[in-house]
Structure 1
Amino acid sequence: MEILIMLVPIIILMYFMQRSQKKQQRKRQEVLDSMRPGNQVVTIGGLHGVVSEIDDEKKTVTLDCEGIYLEFDRASIRTVKSADTGENAQSTVPPTDNAPDHSSEEMNAENNSQEEQEDKDQSQE
């Protein structure tokens, strides 16, 4: 009887977790199925491109990245954007852009100041 009391909550928890996962899978599949040539996409590696061709047999997508054509598995697409507006039509992962926005001039200035500090430290030794 004690075992039954312990198993019931565990089974209920597993049911709701599985239900949530199936819902997420269904949503992701809808996003991938809605992808059409001309849509802007972002891969899981962060590559931005425009869908050029979709091969349903091989389950691949050919992306045009500023004149360079790359072939990816459909599963590697993270975000699909609308072709017309460029706004997110559907997204499988919420955007997490927490990276600071540094211009190349700021980066060069930082690197130069770090190098100067290292040179000073070495000369003092």
Structure 2
Amino acid sequence: DRPELRVVADQIGTPSWTGDIARAIAGLVAQHRDLSGTYHFTNSGAASWYDFAVAIFEEAKSLGFPLKIDRVLPITTAEYPTPTKRPAYSVLATQKIAAVLGAPPPHWRSGLRQMLADLKSHQ
């Protein structure tokens, strides 16, 4: 019997790939040196930690990564107590940076796919 992974399903955020974040910052620095203020960047699309874990599991499996679990199970925040209280919803607004860059940020699933493909190519 292979173990299960239990992941919080009632905390929502926006998973973001550092490659996409770096490209956004490079675009701002290269083309918009006169900007000021605060700009939020995250990949688009919201997901719970559980949704993110399931996507990682699915993408890793499709790429042939060896997996040590059979399934991902949703749990509540109450079932996973931590010393620090986490927000239930922590999605940032990205319209301002999207307007400056001329396009919305890529979806977090595309960043996940790219990161796992990069990882796979370096194995």
Q: Please give the range of the TM-score, normalised by the shorter of the 2 chains.
A: under 0.3
For normalisation by structure 2, the TM-score amounts to 0.25
Tell me which protein shows more strand as a share of its residues: 1
Q: Which has the higher contact order (CA 8 A, sep 6+)?
A: 2
Bigger radius of gyration: 1
